[in-house]
A and B are shown apart, each in its own frame.
Chain A
Amino acid sequence: MAALLETRSLKAYYGPTPVLHGVDLAVEAGGITALLGANGAGKTTLLRAICAMVRREGEVRFAERALDGLRTEDVVRLGVGHVPDGRGTFVHLTVEENLRLGAYTRADRARVAQDFDRVFTYFPRLRERRRQQAGTLSGGEQQMLAISRALMLSPKLLLLDEPSFGLAPLMVKDIFRILRTINREERVSMLIVEQNATLALELADHAYLLETGRMVMSGSAERIRGDESVRRAYLGY
């Protein structure tokens, strides 16, 4: 069975500078894949390349469909939800408006209403703050909002860029727990970029290690977790 998301020899550029030098990656349907690596390895760039936010070369296939020539908004409409680094909340709009925007491309009003409820069940704090301006939310709440907004797309694949960034450990645990629930109950596949390797490897089935734009290791999460060099470099023991 072909993977839900596949990249082959993916290269990405910021202007004339190449940042990814031919990356192969696959995310299985229903699975969670972690993308690890140090700062500047190109993890964020990889997510951006999938969503056509940077200049890229090479093959990207989603649900067996080639994404060549598609713009970001078209890729998104195919069912790829992207929670960007920095969260990308619409800070001047309310929580509710942010969520509505997530559902902007959907026509099925009844299902959208259900999704609102579902999202508020995962993150009750958002329900409390639904009429509040998104910019006034705390970091953790904005992260919840960012994930929820992506969920409102009813995506098949969720790309998450450093969901733990800047959050207190307890909050991070919460969010990762909820991500696991979303993956299990709604069969939303995930590709998570994380600097916090321990957490990511606990959540994921499969993991990749990126170093300066090249994939240097890939395998099941357990295998990567057990690997000597990974443990020393990224897990700290």
Chain B
Amino acid sequence: MTAFLHQVFSGLASGGIYASVALALVLIYQATHLVNFAQGEMAMFATYVAWALVQAGLPYWPAFLLTLAISFAGGVAIERIVIRPFDKAPVLASVCVFIGLLSIFNSLAGFIFTYTIKTFPSPFGEQAWYGTRFLSPHETGEIVVTLALLVLVYAFFRFTPLGLAMRAAAQNPASSRLVGIRVGWMLALGWGLAAAAGAVAGMMAAPIVYLEPNMMGGILLYGFAGALLGGIDNPWGAVLGGFMVGVLENLAGGYVVGADLKLTAALVIIVGVLVIRPSGLFGRPIAQRV
């Protein structure tokens, strides 16, 4: 029983990271109906930026916050400069742009920071008081940070005028223009927020999976799967999906197939769920107007 609970809680911990990535994906998806496949590499690059700041002597939390700010600005810039020219292009052309971005970020990280695996500090000390039998201090702290991120994002969208404007722009750009919302900038803001959410995921993951240019590949996949599992048009469903995927992955690895095939098992289960419920567990059923 203890072992089982351990797997579940561990799964929740990794699930928190997947949930952050899922949130980042949904933020962009809602506004553009595109999945940003480069999200993982952007997050990884942001984590390297944080690492560099810490190496330069900045204490952890200031580096963390500064990285969030830089990621946000970077996300906005990328949307305005790289993505904007493609807003009338075919969907698959945008997908190729994402693939291009992915390659660029991945190689740039390798080029600037080399492929040597680096350690990334965790702000949650090894012996901290909030470590329990089931969760290490880092895992606990990481879940708290993830939840804090989610609460902040929720509050932003629900209670601020700008959040409302962003929601409106995502749902109905034409009508949004008719109330004076600058839809283009709302998109850019969405990318900025997504980049920041991704950075949080990266910085929380790095102490566990170690910092190297390919660290986010699997995490992106799980984030994507979690987002779809929860229903990609529903941010909170997507987040829940992320947590579920984390637990699923751990249980599959621990009880069903062992570490080698746990990716396979998790994916088979997820795809199986999607075949049964094509719009995800909490998504709006896709009703099509004829």
A residues with CB within 8 A of B: 51, 53, 71-73, 76-77, 81-82, 84, 88-93, 97, 100-102, 104-105, 149-150, 153
Contacts and interface: CB of A to CB of B under 8 A. Distances in A.
A76 B178 contact: yes
Contacts, number: 61
A89 B171 CA distance: 10
B172 A88 contact: yes
Nearest to B174: A88
A93 B164 CA distance: 9
A53 to B, nearest CB: 7
Nearest to A92: B171
Contacts of B161: 100, 104
Contacts of B167: 93
Given A88-B172, A88-B174, A93-B171, A73 B182 contact: yes
A89 B168 CA distance: 10
A82 B180 CA distance: 11
B177 interface: yes
Contact of B181 (A53, A82, A89, A104): A104
Given A93-B167, A104-B161, A153 B180 contact: yes
Given A104-B181, A149-B179, 20 more contacts: A51-B178, A53-B174, A53-B177, A72-B178, A73-B177, A73-B180, A76-B180, A77-B180, A84-B174, A84-B178, A88-B174, A88-B175, A88-B178, A90-B171, A90-B172, A91-B172, A93-B171, A100-B164, A104-B164, A104-B179
A149 B176 CA distance: 11
Contact of B175 (A71, A81, A89): A89
A104 B161 CA distance: 7
Contacts of A90: 168, 171-172, 175
Interface of B: 161, 164-165, 167-168, 171-172, 174-183
Contacts of A92: 171
A88 B179 CA distance: 11
A144 B212 CA distance: 57
B177 A101 contact: no
Given A53-B174, A88-B174, A104-B161, A76 B168 contact: no
Nearest to B180: A105
B86 to A, nearest CB: 19
Nearest to A159: B178
Contacts of A102: 179
A84 B164 contact: no
Given A90-B168, A93-B167, A93-B168, A101 B181 contact: yes
15 contacts: A71-B177, A72-B178, A73-B176, A88-B172, A88-B178, A89-B175, A91-B171, A97-B168, A101-B168, A101-B179, A101-B181, A102-B179, A104-B165, A105-B179, A153-B180
Contacts of A105: 179-180
B164 A101 contact: yes
A81 B181 CA distance: 13
Contacts of A101: 164-165, 168, 176, 179, 181
Contacts of B181: 73, 101, 104
- Counting from the closest, the 9 A-B pairs by CB-CB distance are A105-B180, A88-B175, A72-B177, A76-B180, A73-B177, A77-B180, A101-B179, A82-B178, A73-B180
